[in-house]
Amino acid sequence: VRYGDKTALKIRRLEVISGEALALLGPNGAGKTTLLKVMALLQLPNTGEVYFNGAKAGASNALAIRRRIAMVFQEPLLLNASVYQNAALGLKLRGFPSREIETRLRPWLERLGIAHLSARSSRSLSGGEAQRTSLARALALEPELLLLDEPFSALDPTSREVLLRDFQRIMKDTGITTVFVTHDREEAFTLAARVGVMQNGHLAQLGSRESVFMKPNSRTVAQIVGVENCLPGVVEGIDGNFTVIAAHGVRAYTTRRLEVGAKVVACIRAEDIYLSRESCEAEIPNRFTGKIIELLSGMAGHRIVLDCGLLRLVALLARKESLDVAPTEGETLTVRFSPAAVHVIEDD
């Protein structure tokens, strides 16, 4: 897709598998919404083709295909009418008689916890209730493909969490094919089995949520999926079961087999770093001494930046696994990570 001389979307191929939940993650302007609109046949690509269940979409069948797709936007698009009328709109536009609309819609109003609001004006709804109304409208259509553009991002944290849980259950029970755009890594990981990471209009990586989050294929993807420790280095040699990478004046050990001399980036998620107050004299791979130079204590735990000499590492210490006495800035700790937790990006 081009806008003037700017290419907003350039994707070789993307296949959405029937019954799957696919998350599209990426920074602002990456092309996520554009991709969703192309899938919804709301935007024609300048070049390229869109297929729906094997049929190429074109002028003759676009409307018929669009009727098998439902889309939910970040801001609920509601008319100044009752919740029921708003939720019934899609079915009404598709010509369903009132009785059938009632039969199809009622279970969704109940399922989404808004049946008691049926007669209420959409103008008086909270953000969460309004988004539930849009979801009811979309789900009542029984679409074969549900597309959602940041559906939960405008909600307050409590409404968001509750709706996220409800929606997760609905996805599980219906098995509906879903593609959703999000900026939230946690949301992508929780709701989707596959994740596509977008950057500059490209699909930078597509794979299972585990592979994308734990094994990003580039530094850009690593950054987008929140890998905080990326150490550029060179493969120095093999030591028993481990490959040794010289990075930042230290040696990092990985279980990955790599060619000696290769330029690589060793990635370690902050969650995979262990911290302790016990010093250890034995030579253990990936064990360092680090001084806390930055400490950010959140609800779930502490985000700690450690100065390990030439190496700087970010670690997350979950509150429940917290050291008996909370860590303090300036304190020196033993820092350790497993060679299995060192993911390596080659030729970045």
Q: Scanning residues 295 to 334, which ones bind ligand ATP (CB under 6 A)? A: none
> Is the CB of residue 247 less than 8 Å from the CB of residue 309?
no
The nearer residue to ligand ATP, 31 or 285, going by C-beta atoms, is 31
The nearer residue to ligand ATP, 139 or 179, going by C-beta atoms, is 179
Give the shortest CB-125-to-ligand ATP separation in angstroms. 24
Tokens 């098995």 identify what position?
A: 175
The count of residues interacting with ligand ATP (CB under 6 A) is: 10
The nearer residue to ligand ATP, 25 or 235, going by C-beta atoms, is 25
Tokens 């094997």 identify what position?
A: 54
The nearer residue to ligand ATP, 8 or 135, going by C-beta atoms, is 8
Give the shortest CB-134-to-ligand ATP separation in angstroms. 17
The answer to the question of residue 182 lying near ligand ATP (CB under 6 A) is: no
268: nearest Cα among 327, 200, 335: 335
Give the shortest CB-20-to-ligand ATP separation in angstroms. 21
Give the shortest CB-33-to-ligand ATP separation in angstroms. 3
Site string for ligand ATP, 2-41 (x = CB under 6 A): -x----x-----------------x-xxxxxxx-------
Give the shortest CB-324-to-ligand ATP separation in angstroms. 42
Backbone angles phi, psi at 280, to 5 degrees: -135, 125
The nearer residue to ligand ATP, 189 or 253, going by C-beta atoms, is 189
Give the shortest CB-217-to-ligand ATP separation in angstroms. 19
The nearer residue to ligand ATP, 9 or 244, going by C-beta atoms, is 9
Q: Which residues bind ligand ATP (CB under 6 A)?
A: 3, 8, 26, 28-34
